[in-house]
Chains A and B, each alone.
Chain A
Amino acid sequence: MSVQITASEGGIPHDTLMAVGLIGSIVCLYLTYLNGATGTDVFSFFGGLAAVFALIWGTDTIKHLCSYGIGTGVPSAGMIAFGTGVIAMLLATQFDGMYLAPIMAVVIGAIVGFVAGFLANNVMNMNIPVMIRSLTEMAIIGAIVIMGLTAVMAGGFGFDALSVTMVQILGPLEATSYASSLLGGCLIAVAFMLGGIALQHPFNACLGPGEQQDRTLMLAAECGFLSMIVVAAISFAFVSMFAAVISLIVAIAGWYYTYAKYIELSRRDAYAWLNAKPILEPKGEA
């Protein structure tokens, strides 16, 4: 049995959102390469912005897919997105030396996602017209989001850089450590779950009668910045203090703006749904 899911029609076309999300997130991922070019890590925050771009696109994809009664709930779509995405992202980090990691994440994500979509549609007999395309998009989104959040934490996404860190012993002495690296500490799992929740939550929270695209997408951006706050806090362990503070400030500022906007849009839709007027705050008299 399936539960009917009501989604708004109209708004920004999905293709437009996909183009903006894909190009925006890849450009932001490439901007994190400025870290290597300038020898600093202050540009790590671009990874978080890439994740936000991808999450906005992904929320619209989930809305597209889940408006068909898939019967398994919205969160399952987010889970398969990240299950396929993490595989694509980790393999793509091996191509970092040739500056191909973001492109390879898209390519490998598309392959894994296409296979998952084909299996769901043609072997499981789902027969949903947008299934293959949606799962392909979502695997790419999962890969980009994990890559972006990883970039915020570690300042880059090369496989070697994620596996090895230099730890200082007694001040000037340095030693290589695998256990305290991003992969060795399995912080990739944190990026995985933070991204997964941020992707599956917005449409799940906003679906139903009165769902509006701008409000759902604003919540997606808010969830993205919320995840970025956490990874920015983790980044204090890996990048310089200055870079981590910049990431944290960008994340908090982005979160505050999107949260305020989201509440405003929620009130707008609540008034519209109740066919009521905003309640004016009394002024003057105490």
Chain B
Amino acid sequence: MSALGGAAAGGEGINPMGSAIGIVVLIIAVAITAIMAPAALGAIIGVIIGGLLIGFGVHFVPVGGAPAAMGQAPGIATGVAMLAAGAGLAGLFGGAWAAANPAFGIAIVIAAGAVGGGLMMAITCLMVNIIYVFGMGIPSASGKVDKDPITGDSQPEYKSQGTEGHGLPFISYVGGVIGGLLGGAGGTLIYYELLQVYSAALPALFNAEAAEVLPVAVSLAGIFAIGMFLVNAVLAAYNITGTIEGPHDPKFKRFPRAIIGCAVASAVCGLFAILIVVV
């Protein structure tokens, strides 16, 4: 492979050796947490599930990159990581708002995060289609399937020659919203679990009132959640290698690899994030 301008890698199938090593790393990270911070064992499992949700959710998000900007591919004209980060951070706002209210339990917090992420994706998909259809004058058509799996509408008649489809077909729109829901829920779960750890440990660490150190706990949990969100989103983007239409795209079948990868990455990042209150 040349060092310059090589083709995008990322074939099909699971690498058994790499996945096995990854799962061993995950178990080691959980074991270290269990020994050094037994109270945070539940939190690291929550963080792993959160990362896994993000990695899975990213595969639903329709991304077209530069070809979509030129109307040559369905999807939103930006990178997977950027879009997933947008949905996740929007979800985090919703989740953080709900987490600040002590009356709300974990279910409501995560639901609020999911709604935030899903809403962001729904608005983005809507505006993208308005620009495509009314601004650029191109109909939405998928290049990967003949019939839209949800509406049953025929696609090839609307697809321009030489393109992979264009606009944002209904299935991609629905996929985007599902991706936003999962991403927002995953990011919020990471934030919520870390917030529990920090708000329990920081008052003792600083010898201060819980309410006084709450801003530090919120800030730490927030920045760690953002960091882990980006790690998971980029790893999932590497799995997709560029563009994806949504759940009907053949690339979607690669998601098991991303789930393994994101779970391992979240376990290692989560371990370090929890160690900050232990060392």
Interfacial residues, chain A to chain B (CB-CB below 8 A): 1-7, 9, 67-73, 75-77, 79-80, 82-88, 90-91, 94-95, 108, 111-112, 115-116, 118-129, 159-160, 163-164, 176, 178-179, 181, 183-186, 188-189, 192
> Which applies to chain B's interface (DSSP): helix, strand, loop or mixed?
helix
A39–B52 alpha-carbon span in the complex (Å):
47
Across-interface contacts of A67 in B (CB, < 8 A): 3-5
Across-interface contacts of A68 in B (CB, < 8 A): 1, 3, 6, 9
Query: Closest Cβ of chain A: how far from B209's Cβ, in Å?
Result: 9
A243–B227 alpha-carbon span in the complex (Å):
30
Q: Are the CB atoms of A91 and B4 closer together than 8 Å?
A: no
Contact flag A124-B8 (CB < 8 Å), given A70-B241, A76-B80, A90-B276? no
Q: Are the CB atoms of A2 and B241 closer together than 8 Å?
A: yes
Query: Closest Cβ of chain A: how far from B22's Cβ, in Å?
Result: 5
Q: Are the CB atoms of B234 and A69 closer together than 8 Å?
A: no
Total contacts A-B at CB 8 Å = 211
B275 within 8 Å of A by Cβ? Answer: yes
Q: Report 13 cross-chain contacts, Cβ distance below 8 Å, ordered by A residue.
A: A1-B8, A2-B242, A7-B4, A80-B235, A91-B272, A94-B279, A115-B265, A124-B239, A126-B9, A163-B206, A176-B208, A178-B208, A184-B216
Q: Are the CB atoms of B235 and A120 closer together than 8 Å?
A: yes
Q: Which positions 184-220 of chain B face chain A at CB distance < 8 Å?
A: 206, 208, 212-216, 218-220
- Interface size in chain B (residues, C-beta < 8 A): 69
A79–B235 alpha-carbon span in the complex (Å):
11
Contact with A along B208-247 (1 / 0, CB 8 A): 1000111110111011101111110111011111110000
Query: Closest Cβ of chain B: how far from A100's Cβ, in Å?
Result: 11
Across-interface contacts of A116 in B (CB, < 8 A): 231, 235, 265
Q: Are the CB atoms of B19 and A123 closer together than 8 Å?
A: yes
The residue from B11, B17, B234, B272 contacting A80, defined by CB atoms under 8 A apart: B234
Q: Are the CB atoms of B234 and A123 closer together than 8 Å?
A: no
Contact flag A115-B235 (CB < 8 Å), given A69-B6, A183-B216? no
Contact flag A159-B219 (CB < 8 Å), given A72-B79, A79-B234? no
A4–B208 alpha-carbon span in the complex (Å):
55
